[in-house]
């Protein structure tokens, strides 16, 4: 069991020597569990394998409680072990709360998937793609009559693949070529137009990336210009709008900030970042109530927005002097 | 079994208290020294200055109302000026005053002022003594139950009462939880259990997940203003309204005495209607007519259906609270494996039917509603004193109310929400609200309201030494910790400087540490005194007992003698008075009174002997004839 060997190195051997009413095995068990509680996943806190079903959680929790709840050692001298037991138990309770509920469990499983699981999934995907490409090529080689159609098919396929891959400029190229061979195909022209639009979006994305890099390096005005260019290339680029608003705010250009934040909310009313940016602009304007509402909306849409959380906390909870 | 000192469980009730223990692995109720399971939670100071507890106090309550304290549980840990205390002052016959700091409630009893925990301690001492008599050895450790809605202050006050009574309070646990422990004891229970506790003043609902002898409290809910008394009030209102209509607008509620009689008979009728379909309410001379008019009587019948109609919304409210609590816990009624009914009001057929309809199952009737709470407490006491001894139950309790601090604007920010399994801890970040603020005051609160002032203040402290900065720039990390035994610790830390301050939330029972010390010292004196008086009493009893027995032995002869002569009748009547007083003094273990009576008793013996002699002296002729 290498888990145990690993864990043994984690705890302080001095802790094992503490004079308490617990036998050596129990002390070892507690120290080990404490190390797992501090550094392991919630699965490990309950001694469960990754992605164990909710049905296994309750039983594992009860078992953990029976060993690690401080009441189990009532009346004994526990020294620092009391706090250790409480820490282990708290982590187990947290694990029960998260893993015992289907949606929270699934979300947690995704973020904690072990590397081996990832590789397996990726390998499976690549395999599928290679096989379908071979099939298409075989079909095209068979007959000159179908060669033209195959050529169009190939171009469309490549275009679609490029679309899927996110290489929209290449996709637009292929699809426009295919359209010139087969101009009467309405599906094809729609696809080509789509690729063109997505190409613009990609330009916007490039601009956005550059602007982000500029922001990271501290040249805020370059970043602001970049975000603006991204938004011009793709008016539906919500994150560019949000980031642009933030930049403008930083540069003190409140009216641009407001304009971009509003554009962001218009383009993506269902996206938390848009509302987050708007909330910050409103806060800068001094409109606290509206700011709070926007930030709350942002968090409602996306509870992971740290910035919004922090701003909201500041808006809401200051401590009385 | 080890010869470890046994621990007890105490259900410290509003009207009655019960003590129980686990002996040889079986939970059982300990009868008091009068042989009863229930000890009235009543304390009195008799006319002769003696303290009386339990049935003795109850017996003299009517004639000594202002020196008899009952329902102390409604006052324990309450703040002076709170709604509950104001309500109590209106209806309780004994005088209440504010404590020295003006924040707690005291009772005046025969010229002495007592804190409420002291009153409860007298009941606890009595139960402790009962347990000691039963075991024949000293008892010092106990688990005491409280209603689930009790806040931290009330729990602390109850704990203080235990300390005053000379008990180490191992744990304060919730009554519904305790009932569940007793329900599941010794069975292989693997299911979700709902405890539906409708008592005199409050409604508690608890959901537990029981499995592998672990009692995991999932959620607690309830309504602190919904109980049997509300049902009574509906009957009273109905009666007074009808009475006013019949008698030209006479309002019975204006007459305190009449209202008290109404209250008693309304409660009696309600209880009766659980078993019968109609109940009669007959109150002659309820109010004087005044100005020469004749007195008015009340005479009415109430049917079960009428009662159900009058109280339908109250039952509906119970079900609504139940529904909400289940929803909060994410439990569907169909997932519930058992429903346990606790509290006197659950005897009402309509309540039972509502519960049955809601859960689509027959509620459990296998538990004794009066004793079940104490039995559960005994089980927990056993688990906390003899762990790993076979009876391995583990109780995972939750926080009954939101815990948090006051933030800018007078708002309450929850840090540990209710129904969180303890032990637990939680950390939140806060910021300063003023430029160059160097100190923050952390007010620790408990309650359900968004406004800080509406919640219970548990304690406060100041975190100083904050580095001067613009408002909002200093981050303060506030950590709440609740240990397994429910003790709340709060600490605050300046994230940057590491400046730290913390408190353990304790003194909110109203009693200061000095007061507590004084009370405990007094108790030692009292115990010594009591011990002395007990010894003295034993001595007296040994002397008086045989005399009494001798007198009783002479009684037939005396009776016979009296039948023949008129002589001595007055003397015997007087002597009977002496005998009655002696018996009363024996009942009350009152050695002083016995000492006073000893001489009179001796004279009575002589009198009886003389009369019996005289009877026998005349007797033989008749006997021979």
Q: What's the pLDDT tens digit per position in B492-504? A: 888 888 888 887 7
Per-residue model confidence (pLDDT) at position B320 = 95
Question: Which domain-ending residue is among A64, A83, A113?
Answer: A113
pLDDT on residue B376: 95
Percent of chain B with pLDDT over 70: 95
**Domain shared by B13 and B79, yes or no:** yes
State how far residue A133 is from chain B, nearest Cα, in angstroms.
49
The predicted model scores a pTM of 0.68
Count of domains in chain B?
4
Same domain, A97 and A154: no
Compute the distance between CA of residue B545 and CA of residue B163 in angstroms, rounded to an integer. 36
Within-domain flag for A281: yes
**A84 shares a domain with A42:** yes
Task: Check if A292 contacts B (Cβ < 8 Å).
Answer: no
Do residues A108 and A122 share a domain? no
Q: Quick one: A6 and A58 in the same domain? A: yes
Q: What tens digit of pLDDT does each residue of B81-99 get?
A: 888 888 888 777 788 999 8
**Which of A170-174, B336-340, B353-357, B476-480 bottoms out in mean pLDDT, i.e. has the lowest?**
A170-174
**Domain end: B469, B504, B539, which one?**
B504
pLDDT value of position B470: 87
pLDDT at B359: 95
Q: Which has more confidence, B145 or A234?
A: B145
How far is C-alpha B43 from the geometric centre of its chain's CA atoms?
A: 12
- What pLDDT, on a 0 to 100 scale, did the predictor assign at position B1? 45
* pLDDT at residue B510 is higher than 80: no
Residues B44 and B150 in one domain: yes
Kindly give, in sequence order, each residue whose CB lies less than 8 Å from that of residue A314, ignoring residues fewer than 6 positions away: B431, B472
End-of-domain residue from the set A113, A134, A155: A113
Among the ranges given (A195-204, B7-16, B131-140, B297-306), the one the predictor scored with the smallest mean pLDDT: A195-204
Residue B197 annotated in active site: yes
A93 reaches B (C-beta below 8 A): yes
**Strand pairing report for B500-504 and B411-416:** unpaired
- A94-114 pLDDT, tens digit each: 999 999 988 888 888 888 877
Looking at the structure, tell me whether residues A253 and A311 fall in a common domain. Answer: yes
Please tell me the distance from the alpha carbon of residue A302 to that of residue A308, in angstroms, as a whole number. 10
> Is A286 a member of any domain?
yes
Q: B331, B417, B421, B457: which to substitute to probe chain A, counting the most A Cβ within 10 Å?
A: B421
Residue A225 forms part of a structural domain: no
The answer as to whether B423 is a domain residue is: yes
Q: Do residues B220 and B206 touch, judged by C-beta distance below 8 A? A: yes
Mean predicted lDDT score pLDDT of chain B? 86
Same domain? For B6 and B113 the reply is: yes
From B467, B483, B504, give the residue that closes a domain: B504
- B109 and B233 in a single domain? The answer is no
Separation in Å, CA A267 to CA A260, A281, B121: 10, 17, 69
Task: With cut-offs at 50, 70 and 90, classify the pLDDT of residue B391.
Answer: low
Of these ranges, A27-41, A244-258, B305-319, the one predicted with the greatest mean pLDDT is B305-319
Edge-first strand order for the sheet with B424-432 is: A318-319, B424-432, B475-482, B488-494, B500-504
Residue B152 annotated as catalytic: no
Q: Is B62 exposed, middle or buried, given 0-12, 13-18 or 19+ CB atoms closer than 10 A?
A: exposed
Q: How confident is the model at residue B377 (pLDDT cuts 50, 70, 90)?
A: very high
Residue A254: exposed, middle, or buried by beta-carbon count in 10 A (0-12, 13-18, 19+)?
middle
Tell me which of B224-233, B392-401, B539-548, B563-572 is least confident. Answer: B563-572
Please indicate, yes or no, whether residues A10 and A90 belong to a single structural domain of this protein: yes
> How many CA atoms does the CB half-sphere of A7 hold within 13 Å?
19
Domain limits at A250?
235-316
Domain tally for chain A? 3
Between residues A261 and B506, which one has the greater pLDDT? Answer: A261
Q: Could you tell me if A49 lies within 8 Å of chain B, comparing CB atoms?
A: no
**Distances from the Cα of A75 to the Cα of A71, B4, B386, angstroms:** 9, 12, 8
Confidence of residue B159 (pLDDT cuts 50, 70, 90): very high
Pairing of strands B16-23, B39-40: antiparallel
Are A19 and A99 contained in the same domain?
yes
Whether the bond between B423 and the residue before it is cis, its omega within 30 degrees of 0, is yes
Handedness of CA B334, B340, B345, B349 (dihedral sign): positive
Given an 8 Å threshold on Cβ–Cβ distance, is B483 in contact with A59? no
pLDDT band at B227 (very low <50, low <70, confident <90, very high): confident
Kindly report, residue by residue over B179-199, the tens digit of the pLDDT.
999 999 888 889 999 999 998
> Residues B92-121: what's their mean pLDDT?
88
At residue B624, the pLDDT reads 39
Could you say which of B51, B73, B192, B270 is catalytic?
B73
Q: Report whether pLDDT(A166) > 80.
A: no
Read off the pLDDT of residues B392-449 as tens digits, 9 standing for 90 and up.
Answer: 789 999 988 899 999 888 899 999 998 899 899 998 888 888 888 888 888 999 988 8
Judge if B498 and B424 occupy the same domain.
yes
Query: Two tokens at B116?
Result: 């409420």
pLDDT in tens, B567-613: 677 778 888 888 888 887 777 777 777 778 888 888 888 888 888 87
* Confidence band for A5, pLDDT divided at 50, 70 and 90: very low
Residue ending a domain, among B351, B386, B421, is B386
Interface A-B, measured as beta-carbon pairs within 8 A, has a size of: 102
B11 an active-site residue? yes
pLDDT at B62 over 80: no
- Please report, for the domain that includes residue B161, its CATH number: 3.30.420.40
Of B472, B476, B484, the CB nearest to A314: B472
CATH number assigned to the domain comprising residue A104: 1.10.287.110
Q: pLDDT class for A6, splitting at 50, 70, 90?
A: very low
For residue B388, the model assigns a pLDDT of 61
**C-alpha–C-alpha distance, residues B137 and B301, integer Å:** 53
The answer, yes or no, to whether residue A116 has pLDDT greater than 80, is no
Percent of chain B past pLDDT 90, that is, above it, reads 39
Higher model confidence: residue B572 or residue B319? B319
Whether the per-residue pLDDT at B61 is higher than 90: the answer is: no
Q: Greater confidence, B253 or B211? A: B211
Residue A27, in any domain of the structure: yes
Same domain, yes or no, for B245 and B111? no
Catalytic, out of B126, B130, B197, B397 = B197
What pLDDT was estimated at residue B341? 92
> What pLDDT is stored for residue B625 in this prediction?
34
Average pLDDT over residues A13-24: 87
- Residue B290 has φ and ψ, to the nearest 5°, of 75, 150
Residue B347 located in a structural domain? no
So what's the pLDDT on residue A144?
59
Residues B17 and B115 in one domain: yes
Of B212, B424, B484, the CB nearest to A62: B212
Residue A3 has pLDDT above 50, yes or no: no
Least confident of B41-45, B117-121, B233-237, B538-542: B538-542
- B323, part of any domain: no
Q: Is residue B359 part of a domain?
A: no
pLDDT of residue A9: 46
The tens digit of pLDDT for each residue in B456-471 reads: 888 888 888 888 888 8
pLDDT confidence of residue B390: 54
Q: How far apart are CA B514 and CA B239, in angstroms?
A: 50
Contact B432 A90 (CB under 8 A): no
In the prediction, which pLDDT does B386 show?
77
Phi and psi at B65, nearest 5°, equal: -60, -40
List the single residue in B with minimal CA-CA distance to A101: B330
- Given a contact cutoff of 8 angstroms between Cβ atoms, the answer to whether B598 and B540 are in contact is yes
In this prediction, residue B617 has a pLDDT band, given cuts at 50, 70 and 90, of low
| Domain containing residue B240 | 228-311
* pLDDT over 60 at A4, yes or no: no
Of the listed ranges A61-70, A233-242, B2-11, B515-524, the one predicted with least confidence: B515-524
The pair phi, psi for residue B200, each rounded to 5°, is -70, -40
Asked if residue B213 is part of any domain, the answer here is no
Interchain contact A90–B (C-beta under 8 A) = yes
Q: How many residues does chain B have?
A: 625
Kindly state whether residue B537 falls inside one of the protein's structural domains: yes
**Domain shared by B477 and B578, yes or no:** no
Indicate whether A209 belongs to any domain. no
Q: How far is CA A68 from CA A84, B373, B565, in A?
A: 9, 27, 84
Domain's final residue, options A78, A94, A113:
A113
Q: What is the CATH number of the domain that holds B263?
A: 3.90.640.10
**Which residues in chain B are closer than 8 Å to A63, comparing Cβ atoms?**
212
**Residue B408 with chain A: CB contacts under 8 Å:** 317-320
* CATH number for B479: 2.60.34.10
The answer as to whether A82 is a domain residue is: yes
Span B67-82, pLDDT tens digits: 889 889 989 988 888 8
Please check whether residue B351 lies inside any domain of the structure: no
Smallest Cβ distance to B396: which of A69, A86, A318? A69
Rg of chain B over all Cα atoms, to the nearest angstrom: 29
Within this chain, do residues B21 and B151 fall inside the same structural domain, yes or no? yes
| Reported ipTM | 0.75
Residue A220 lies in a domain: no
Confidence bin at B273 (pLDDT 50/70/90)? very high
Q: Are residues B16 and B94 in the same domain?
A: yes
Are residues B411 and B485 located together in one domain of the fold? Answer: yes
Claim to verify: residue A161 and residue A256 sit in the same structural domain:
no
Considering only the beta carbons, identify the residue of B211, B432, B442 that sits closest to A318: B432
Q: Say if B350 falls within a structural domain.
A: no
Does residue A310 form part of some domain? yes
**Are B117 and B44 contained in the same domain?**
yes
Report the phi/psi class of residue B213: left, alpha or beta, with left for phi > 0 and alpha for psi in -120 to 50.
left
């Amino acid at each position: 069991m290498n888990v145990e060997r690993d864990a043994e190195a984690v705890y302080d051997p001095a802790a094992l020597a503490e004079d308490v009413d617990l036998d050596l095995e129990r002390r070892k068990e507690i120290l080990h569990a404490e190390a797992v509680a501090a550094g392991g996943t919630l699965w490990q806190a309950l001694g469960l394998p990754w992605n164990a079903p909710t049905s296994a959680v309750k039983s594992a929790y009860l078992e953990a409680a029976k060993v690690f709840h401080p009441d189990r050692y009532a009346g004994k001298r526990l020294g620092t072990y009391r706090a250790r037991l409480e820490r282990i138990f708290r982590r187990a309770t947290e694990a029960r709360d998260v893993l015992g509920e289907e949606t929270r469990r699934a979300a947690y499983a995704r973020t904690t998937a072990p590397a081996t699981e990832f590789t397996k999934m990726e390998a499976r995907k690549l395999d599928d793609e290679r096989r379908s490409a071979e099939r298409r090529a075989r079909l095209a080689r068979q007959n000159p009559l179908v060669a033209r159609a195959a050529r169009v098919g190939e171009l469309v396929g490549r275009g679609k693949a490029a679309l899927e891959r996110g290489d929209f400029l290449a996709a637009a190229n292929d699809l426009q070529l295919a359209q010139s061979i087969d101009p009467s195909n309405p599906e094809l022209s729609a696809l080509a137009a789509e690729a063109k639009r997505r190409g613009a979006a990609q330009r916007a994305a490039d601009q956005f990336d550059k602007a982000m890099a500029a922001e990271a390096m501290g040249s805020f005005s370059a970043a602001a210009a970049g975000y603006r260019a991204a938004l011009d290339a793709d008016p539906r680029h919500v994150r560019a709008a949000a980031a642009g608003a933030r930049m403008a705010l930083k540069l003190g250009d409140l009216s641009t900030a407001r304009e971009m934040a509003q554009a962001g909310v218009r383009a993506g009313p269902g996206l938390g970042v848009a509302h987050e940016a708007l909330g910050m602009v409103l806060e800068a304007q001094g409109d606290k109530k509206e700011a709070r509402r926007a930030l709350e909306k942002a968090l409602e849409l996306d509870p992971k927005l740290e910035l919004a959380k922090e701003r909201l906390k500041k808006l809401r909870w200051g401590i009385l002097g | 079994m080890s010869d470890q000192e046994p621990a007890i469980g105490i259900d410290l009730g509003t009207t009655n208290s019960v003590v129980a223990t686990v002996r040889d692995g079986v939970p059982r109720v300990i009868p008091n020294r009068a042989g009863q399971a229930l000890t009235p939670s009543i304390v009195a100071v008799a006319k002769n200055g003696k303290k009386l507890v339990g049935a003795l106090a109850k017996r003299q309550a009517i004639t000594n109302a202002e020196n008899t304290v009952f329902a102390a549980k409604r006052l324990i840990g309450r703040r002076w000026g709170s709604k509950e205390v104001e309500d109590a002052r209106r209806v309780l016959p004994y005088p209440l005053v504010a404590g020295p700091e003006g924040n707690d409630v005291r009772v005046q009893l025969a010229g002495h002022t007592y804190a409420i925990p002291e009153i409860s301690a007298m009941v606890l001492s009595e139960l402790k003594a009962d347990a000691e008599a039963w075991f024949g050895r000293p008892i010092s450790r106990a688990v005491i139950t409280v209603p689930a809605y009790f806040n931290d202050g009330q729990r602390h006050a109850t704990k203080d009462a235990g300390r005053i009574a000379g008990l180490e309070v191992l744990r304060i646990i919730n009554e519904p939880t305790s009932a569940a422990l007793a329900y599941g004891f010794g069975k292989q229970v693997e299911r979700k259990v709902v405890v539906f506790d409708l008592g005199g003043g409050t409604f508690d609902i608890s959901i537990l997940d029981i499995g592998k002898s672990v009692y995991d409290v999932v959620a607690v809910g309830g309504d602190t203003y919904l109980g049997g008394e509300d049902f009574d009030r509906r009957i009273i209102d109905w009666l007074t309204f009808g009475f006013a209509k019949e008698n030209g607008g006479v309002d019975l509620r204006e007459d305190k005495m009449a209202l008290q009689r109404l209250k008693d008979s309304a409660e009696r009728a309600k209880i009766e209607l659980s078993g019968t379909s109609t109940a009669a309410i007959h109150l002659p001379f309820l109010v004087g007519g005044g100005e020469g008019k004749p007195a008015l009587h009340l005479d009415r019948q109430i049917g079960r259906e009428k009662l159900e109609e009058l109280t339908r919304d109250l039952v509906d409210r119970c079900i609504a609270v139940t529904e909400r609590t289940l929803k909060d816990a994410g439990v569907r009624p169909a997932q519930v494996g058992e429903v346990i009914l606790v509290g006197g009001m659950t005897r009402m057929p309509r309540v039972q039917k509502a519960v049955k309809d809601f859960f689509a199952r027959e509620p459990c009737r296998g538990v004794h509603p009066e004793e079940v709470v104490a039995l559960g407490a005994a089980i927990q006491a056993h688990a906390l004193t003899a762990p790993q001894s076979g009876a391995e139950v583990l109780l995972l309790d939750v926080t009954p109310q939101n815990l948090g601090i006051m933030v800018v604007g007078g708002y309450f920010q929850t840090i540990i929400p209710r129904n969180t399994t303890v032990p637990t801890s939680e950390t939140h970040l806060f910021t300063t609200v003023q430029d160059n603020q160097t100190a923050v005051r952390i007010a620790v609160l408990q309650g359900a309201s968004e406004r800080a002032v509406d919640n219970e203040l548990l304690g406060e402290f100041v975190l100083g030494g904050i580095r001067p900065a613009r408002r909002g720039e200093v981050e303060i990390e506030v950590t709440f910790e609740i240990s397994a035994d429910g003790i709340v610790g709060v600490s605050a830390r300046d994230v940057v400087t590491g400046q730290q301050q913390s408190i353990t939330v304790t003194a909110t029972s109203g009693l200061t540490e000095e007061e507590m010390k004084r009370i405990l010292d007094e108790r030692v004196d009292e115990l010594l005194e009591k011990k002395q008086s007990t010894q003295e009493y034993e001595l007296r009893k040994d002397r008086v007992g045989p005399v009494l027995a001798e007198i009783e032995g002479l009684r037939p002869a005396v009776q016979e003698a009296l039948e023949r002569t008129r002589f001595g009748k007055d003397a015997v009547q007087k002597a009977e008075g002496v005998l009655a007083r002696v018996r009363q003094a024996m009942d009350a273990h009152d050695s002083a009174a016995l000492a006073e009576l000893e001489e009179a008793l001796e004279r009575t013996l002589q009198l009886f002997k003389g009369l019996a002699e005289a009877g026998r002296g005349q007797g033989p002729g008749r006997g021979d004839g």
